[in-house]
Amino acid sequence: MASERADRDPGRTVGLGEVAIGVALLVFLLGAGLAAAGTFLVSDNCETQTGVSLTKVNETDRPIVEAGNLSREVQEPVGIAVRENRTVFVQPEQFQSELANRTIQFEGTLYEVEGRAFEDCAGGTDDVFQFGGFWLAVLGLTAAALLAVLQYGSRWFPSDEEYRRRN
């Protein structure tokens, strides 16, 4: 008779609840994997730019350059920096060749140029992987937790009546 006995409990089958929890955990693992790929595997594709700010001065010991004598690519940001009184960005090569350690004369007013390098890493594939993977992982883990409570909650959190019956 022992040979007829099954190794597995014949009454035990995998139900819909266990399958749903498994799928939710797979979604969590997929999201965590995407977030990790965005963090560690995908390059940042960062680009270095120079932030240029102009300060109005009366006198200067730096060489003076007329704004109209700058290249077209630099004239527009310089005009914006003067009119809107804000920092603008130019390529590092443009800054070094045309603006570094100089004073700009714009419509008769002198402005000293200050520049600072910035890493522009915004956007790109890595951010999509991190953002999407994070929220996919959150969704999967939340769904798995809720499904587990729904499936096994009566065992984990018995009601007062069930608790009294067990004891």
Residue 137 pLDDT > 60 = yes
Query: Which secondary structure element, helix H or strand E, spans residue 100, and what is its range?
Result: none
pLDDT band at 24 (very low <50, low <70, confident <90, very high): very high
Q: In whole angstroms, what is the distance from residue 26 CA to residue 81 CA?
A: 51
Quick one: pLDDT at residue 1?
Answer: 44
- pLDDT band at residue 20, thresholds of 50, 70 and 90? very high
Mean pLDDT, the chain, rounded, equals: 85
* Contact in structure between 109 and 59 (CB atoms under 8 Å): no
